[in-house]
Structure 1
Amino acid sequence: AEENENGYNKVNNVKVKVPDDGETHKVTAERVKDAKGNKISAQSVWNYNIDSGETTTVELIGPGEYNIYVDGNIAKTETIK
């Protein structure tokens, strides 16, 4: 019952640039740890196709640790408090 914590529904924007190679790239994100830092089953929270060379904004909502991927390769890990 963490719904009432401050910042629980705060949107955290993370910018990700995809390669400029004429291809469309898949940007995905998974929540991999909960607010207390415990490892959880990966939850998909983002999944978009982005045009070559674009910078996209991934929205992460709520505390935890997130992995952001470009074409399945990890691009960033973000910890949201």
Structure 2
Amino acid sequence: MNIKIKYSYLKVFLFIMVVFIYGIVSANSNLTGEGIFSSSSILKYGSLFLLLSVSLLDFHKLNLSKKEVKLRKEYFNFLLFLLLSRFYL
């Protein structure tokens, strides 16, 4: 139970960090046309990678991987968020 609470706080913190970084950096990079290896892109995609890796670690720690869980059922809302944020940027 304690591990579940720690990972949920970490996921919320990382999600807020991703939204904050995308909000600050995307307005700047649209005007300057920076490349994929710029510092702003590394911040954006690095924070998104951290969020995904913590979510996958939480998924495996809670032994949900042993159940027959479909990705569409568990992460459908997260996939919608990724698609909407991709079209927004």
TM-score for both structures, normalised by structure 1: 0.25
Q: Identify the structure with the greater strand proportion.
A: 1
Q: TM-score if structure 2 supplies the norm length?
A: 0.23
Higher helix share: 2
Which has the greater radius of gyration? Answer: 2
